[in-house]
């Protein structure tokens, strides 16, 4: 058995929204987790460790965008052995990470359900019901893309095939897509002729990924982009049934107003809203 | 003229290749200097995949030293995987640096660090992708000067057609000296073109320019003479030795990749050189004398390196790390400093006789007590005398017993097969040794879960070692002996299941042997193999022995030499060896005497602790042994 005292307990849990941008979108999930661990050490953040022969820092990830996919809204949770000001953690961690892996928001995890304050905070992953995606298709005409989207949304179900960990699987991609629109304004402002799609996709099993939707678009409308699509996750969060949009998954933590350390400023004063990086509005289908 | 980044063209292609992150750069502590603000520009290459090349110390050190200089820029490039090569060829994208994605052909100097000869075909891929003519003779003022370095450069003759120059030994000072020659020549308006630049480098005595030497051959295929073909070129080119490692505390800011690489740790060289005198070990022969880095510099480098990188592991590198005169204080000092921070220390290359349990305990204080590795190299006492690995079986048993008593459960043992004078029973003796290790472990602990892993590498005779004259063992014999060893271990009911055996077949060693002791005629084989698709020869999934033998047969047709001539043939004392004009400082007569001593099973002591035995290095090179103890200790770090 390992000698010495038990590892220091977790005193504070921070929920972190981060982005992977530009060329850093080619990082895999494992690359990111190594980079975050090293950044935590460089930044001197008092991360808690698991016990055992090979102690691991207590950092957990809620889902992860695939290698090659950019994201404005990835989430992780980190356990600290001391209380820290979230704004300071945000600044320090961001400075210690390579440019392109950027910390967007840090919020202390709220307590569990009312009357159950000792319980672990409600799992962040459970709040990530859906993702908003932006897919830029270079060399695709806007009208062709619009027609394909219309055909896609009009279909009752669209079966595609993909090689998953469990082998080749066939599944419906249509049901998971709650909205899908062409963003003409953004495409017109782009540096090269392209079509830009924005869509909200529910997280399901098997996961419906942006490339599955592109497969679906090819099946229903022969949409075949000449170069690889540029995919960006704009937001993740609870799906608002009324608007079809996504809420900020960290809002419930903010609302519970846990103490956040001595000199903490107002938590998330200038916090980003889901979908902020792009100008156009996603419209419900 | 500004040089455009290739990244905009590369980026759309990256989703289609494996592990694209290895091509995007942006590592922590990497840097991109302004192209137009510099006048000497180096592209540094480690000719293997990014995951192997990125952690390479040599490249990281030169990268940092060059970039620290005003007016000098260095960027890195690595071998691209075959899938990327295909994409680059299809889209006309040249070999690029990962820092600013500039084309390699735009740089002044293309420096390639060869740790192993199996990287030669990868050099050709990079040159070809870069648009640099493979033949150095076909290059013009438009192309970079291609310079080889690293241990394999101590015999660059097989790649003499493809490189413009080669540099032997420590790179820190000579890289800067080359930079100054290039800067001056460019400043004068590049007079005399490429030829004059190479001449200036050659005349300095520290840079080998193969084209300025002619090789003539005897009718039987042996070399008659290697001689300069123009005035002002030295007959012999000397290796470079950095004295006072404390003056060169690099890397200061280690590169931290996003991609996963083979070594995920901060490494500090705690000394260079080794005088243990193992006769098979080229590194130990060509890096003499021993020069220690002081305990305080080591401490400072570890502190800064961890802060700059965020790594969780520190490796204390050298050829035999436990031999540092203050290793005990280094280990204790570092273990004290980093206690409770989940920082682990590792000590690669520990000799059986230098190991002690206090040291091992310090190194495992950070947590793990996973495994210990020792390298007896030879299975029998006789074999170890031949190779001058002065470790007895009783030493080993004593050491592993202590280790098992102190909580280790697993020991790894490294051996070689195919050593000079080796007989079947020398290899079978490995089994006996491994069984005694398990037996000792079981007795010491009263437990059954004691493990021992035996790893075996094929021996390849290397230039500048006493075995440079030896016949390499043919691969059939190596394979037969390994099979017999395997059968011996498998058949043992008592111990067999506690012993793991890892080895490779003997064929790749023969190709390594051809490239290690080859002369300029071997260049044709390398080119033919490359043209036939040979890439990444150090990777078993890419290596093809059949391709090498077929290409060698074709290339040597009509010549008095063949693959066997280069590998399994013993040389005599008077034969001119292809690297005789390249001076590692070792006295040729001493090497020959040491070869005779090997055959006679006579051992030689370490000159750090016994009188000098005249290997020749210190007087020839004007160097001296630099070892402690300094008597200083590492103080606790002040809490930040």
Where does chain A hold its CATH 3.30.70.580 domain(s)?
Answer: 12-126+247-256
The string of pLDDT tens digits covering residues B74-84 is 999 999 999 99
Q: Please tell me the class of the B260-365+605-640 domain.
A: alpha beta
The band of B333, judged by pLDDT with boundaries at 50, 70 and 90, is: very high
Please state the three-class secondary structure of B477-521 as a single string.
Answer: HHHHHHHHHHHHHHCCCCCHHHEEEEECCCHHHHHHHHHHCCCHH
The predicted pLDDT at position B165 comes to 98
Distance of CA A40 to the CA centre of its chain: 20
The string of pLDDT tens digits covering residues B42-62 is 999 999 999 999 999 999 999
The band of B1, judged by pLDDT with boundaries at 50, 70 and 90, is: low
| Residue B337 or residue B369, greater confidence | B337
Structure tokens at B327: 């290793």
Topology at the third CATH level for domain B7-238: Rossmann fold (3.40.50)
The string of pLDDT tens digits covering residues B221-235 is 999 999 999 999 999
The answer to whether the CB atoms of A23 and B7 lie below 8 A apart is yes
**What is chain A's percent helix, strand, coil content, to nearest 5?**
25, 30, 45
The string of pLDDT tens digits covering residues B133-151 is 999 999 999 999 999 999 9
Residues of A with Cβ-Cβ distance to B11 under 8 angstroms: 23
Q: Residue B377 pLDDT > 60, yes or no?
A: yes
Topology at the third CATH level for domain A12-126+247-256: Alpha-Beta Plaits (3.30.70)
Structure tokens at B393: 């079986």
**Mean pLDDT across A76-87:** 96
| Residue A151 or residue B403, greater confidence | A151
Which range has the worst mean pLDDT, B254-263, B336-345, B410-419? B336-345
Q: What percent of chain A has pLDDT over 90?
A: 70
The predicted pLDDT at position A112 comes to 55
The predicted pLDDT at position A121 comes to 57
The string of pLDDT tens digits covering residues A190-249 is 999 999 999 999 998 889 999 999 999 999 999 999 989 999 999 999 998 888 899 999
The answer to whether the CB atoms of A40 and B310 lie below 8 A apart is yes
The predicted pLDDT at position A269 comes to 39
Q: Residue B533 pLDDT > 80, yes or no?
A: yes
Residue B140: how many other CB atoms lie within 10 Å: 8
Topology at the third CATH level for domain A130-237: Alpha-Beta Plaits (3.30.70)
The answer to whether the CB atoms of A54 and B368 lie below 8 A apart is yes
**Mean pLDDT across B369-385:** 88
- Degrees to nearest 5, angle at CA A283 with A209 and A151: 60
Tell me what the pLDDT averaged over chain A comes to.
86
Distance from the A12 Cα atom to the nearest Cα atom in chain B, whole angstroms: 19
The predicted pLDDT at position A241 comes to 82
Tell me what the pLDDT averaged over chain B comes to.
95
**Mean pLDDT across B366-388:** 86
Nearest to B258 among A31, A40, A138 (CB): A31
Q: How far is CA B25 from CA A75, A100, B107, B578, in A?
A: 24, 12, 18, 39
The predicted pLDDT at position B359 comes to 83
Where does chain B hold its CATH 3.40.50.280 domain(s)?
Answer: 7-238
The string of pLDDT tens digits covering residues B109-142 is 999 999 999 999 999 999 999 999 999 999 999 9
**Mean pLDDT across A117-128:** 72
The band of B366, judged by pLDDT with boundaries at 50, 70 and 90, is: low
The band of B354, judged by pLDDT with boundaries at 50, 70 and 90, is: confident
Chain A with chain B: Cβ pairs closer than 8 A = 73
Nearest to B24 among A26, A38, A55 (CB): A26
The band of A278, judged by pLDDT with boundaries at 50, 70 and 90, is: very low
The answer to whether the CB atoms of B20 and A34 lie below 8 A apart is no
The answer to whether the CB atoms of A53 and B368 lie below 8 A apart is yes
Residues of A with Cβ-Cβ distance to B25 under 8 angstroms: 23
The band of B515, judged by pLDDT with boundaries at 50, 70 and 90, is: very high
The answer to whether the CB atoms of B258 and A98 lie below 8 A apart is yes
The band of B358, judged by pLDDT with boundaries at 50, 70 and 90, is: confident
The band of A51, judged by pLDDT with boundaries at 50, 70 and 90, is: confident
Helix (H, G, I), strand (E, B) or coil at A224: coil
Residue B595: is the preceding peptide bond cis (ω within 30°)?
Answer: no
């Amino acid at each position: 058995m390992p000698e010495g005292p038990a590892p220091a307990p977790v005193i504070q849990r921070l929920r972190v929204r981060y982005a992977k941008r530009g060329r850093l979108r080619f990082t895999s999930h494992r690359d990111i987790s190594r980079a975050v661990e090293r950044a935590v050490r460089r930044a001197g953040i008092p991360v808690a460790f698991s016990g055992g022969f090979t102690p691991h820092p207590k950092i957990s990830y809620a889902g992860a965008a695939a290698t090659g996919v950019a994201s404005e809204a990835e989430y992780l949770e980190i356990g600290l052995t001391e209380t820290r000001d979230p704004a300071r953690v945000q600044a320090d961690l961001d400075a210690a990470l390579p440019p392109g892996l950027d910390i967007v928001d840090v919020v202390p995890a709220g307590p569990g359900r009312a009357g159950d304050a000792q319980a672990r905070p409600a799992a962040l992953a459970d709040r990530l019901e859906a993702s908003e995606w932006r897919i830029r298709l270079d060399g695709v005409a806007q009208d062709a893309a619009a027609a394909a989207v219309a055909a896609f949304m009009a279909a009752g179900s669209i079966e595609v095939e993909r090689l998953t960990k469990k082998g080749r699987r066939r599944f419906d991609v249509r049901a998971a897509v709650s909205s899908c629109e062409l963003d003409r304004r953004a495409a017109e402002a782009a540096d090269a002729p392209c079509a830009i799609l924005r869509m909200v996709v529910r997280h399901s099993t098997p996961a419906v990924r942006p490339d599955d939707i592109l497969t679906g678009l090819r099946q229903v409308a022969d949409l075949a982009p000449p170069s690889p699509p540029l995919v960006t996750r704009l937001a993740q969060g609870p799906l608002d049934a009324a608007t079809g949009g996504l809420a900020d998954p960290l809002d419930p933590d903010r609302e519970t107003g846990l103490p956040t350390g001595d000199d903490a400023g107002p938590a998330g004063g200038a916090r980003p809203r889901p979908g902020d990086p792009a100008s156009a509005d996603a419209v419900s289908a | 003229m500004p040089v455009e980044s290739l990244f905009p063209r590369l980026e759309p292609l990256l989703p289609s290749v494996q592990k694209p992150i290895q091509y995007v750069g942006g590592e922590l502590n990497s840097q991109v200097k302004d192209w137009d603000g510099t006048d000497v520009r180096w592209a540094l290459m480690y000719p293997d995949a990014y995951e192997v090349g990125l952690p390479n110390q040599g490249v990281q050190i030169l990268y940092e030293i060059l970039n620290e200089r005003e007016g000098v820029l260095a960027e890195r490039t690595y071998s691209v995987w075959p899938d990327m090569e295909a994409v680059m060829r299809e889209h006309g994208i040249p070999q690029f640096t990962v820092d600013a994605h500039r084309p390699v052909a735009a740089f002044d100097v293309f420096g390639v660090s060869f740790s192993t000869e199996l990287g030669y075909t990868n050099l050709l891929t990079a040159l070809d992708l870069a648009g640099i003519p493979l033949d150095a003779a076909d290059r013009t003022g438009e192309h970079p000067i291609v310079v080889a370095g690293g241990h394999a450069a101590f015999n660059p003759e097989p790649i003499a057609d493809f490189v413009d120059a080669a540099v032997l030994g420590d790179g820190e000072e000579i890289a800067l000296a080359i930079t100054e020659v290039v800067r001056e020549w460019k400043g004068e308006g590049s007079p005399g073109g490429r030829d004059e630049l190479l001449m200036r480098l050659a005349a300095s005595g520290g840079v080998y320019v193969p084209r300025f030497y002619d090789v003539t051959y005897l009718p039987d295929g042996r070399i008659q003479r290697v001689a300069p073909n123009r005035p002002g070129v030295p007959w012999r080119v000397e290796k470079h030795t950095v004295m006072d490692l404390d003056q060169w505390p690099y890397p200061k800011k280690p590169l931290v990749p996003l991609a996963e690489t083979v070594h995920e740790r901060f490494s500090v060289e705690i000394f260079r050189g080794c005088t243990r005198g193992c006769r098979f070990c080229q590194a130990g022969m060509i890096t003499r004398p021993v020069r220690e880095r002081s305990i305080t510099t080591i401490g400072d480098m570890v502190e800064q390196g961890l802060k700059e990188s965020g790594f969780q592991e520190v490796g204390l590198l050298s050829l035999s790390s436990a031999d540092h005169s203050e290793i005990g204080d280094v280990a204790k000092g570092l273990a004290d400093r980093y206690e409770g921070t989940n920082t682990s220390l590792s000590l690669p290359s520990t000799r059986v006789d230098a190991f002690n349990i206090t040291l091992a305990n310090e190194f495992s204080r950070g947590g793990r007590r996973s495994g210990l590795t020792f390298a007896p190299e030879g299975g029998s006492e006789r074999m170890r005398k031949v190779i001058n690995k002065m470790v007895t079986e009783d030493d080993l048993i004593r050491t592993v017993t202590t280790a098992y008593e102190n909580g280790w459960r697993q020991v790894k043992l490294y051996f070689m097969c195919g050593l000079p004078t080796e007989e079947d029973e020398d290899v079978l003796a490995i089994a006996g040794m491994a069984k005694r290790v398990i037996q000792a472990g079981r007795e010491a602990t009263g437990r059954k879960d004691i493990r021992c892993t035996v790893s075996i590498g094929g021996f390849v005779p290397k230039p500048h070692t006493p075995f440079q004259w030896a016949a390499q063992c043919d691969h059939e014999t190596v394979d037969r002996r390994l099979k017999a060893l395997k059968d011996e271990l498998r058949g043992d009911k008592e111990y067999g299941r506690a012993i793991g055996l890892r080895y490779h077949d003997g064929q790749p060693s023969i190709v390594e042997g051809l490239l290690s002791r080859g002369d300029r005629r071997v260049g044709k084989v390398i080119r033919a193999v490359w043209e036939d698709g040979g890439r990444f020869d150090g990777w078993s999934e890419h290596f093809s022995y059949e391709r090498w033998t077929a290409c060698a047969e074709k290339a040597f047709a009509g010549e008095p030499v063949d693959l066997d001539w280069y590998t399994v043939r013993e040389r005599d004392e008077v034969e001119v060896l292809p690297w005789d004009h390249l001076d590692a400082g070792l006295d040729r007569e001493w090497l020959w005497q040491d070869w005779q001593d090997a055959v006679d099973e006579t051992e030689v002591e370490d000159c750090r602790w016994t009188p000098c035995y005249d290997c020749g290095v210190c007087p020839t090179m004007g160097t001296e042994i630099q070892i402690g103890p300094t008597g200083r200790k590492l103080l606790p770090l002040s809490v930040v």
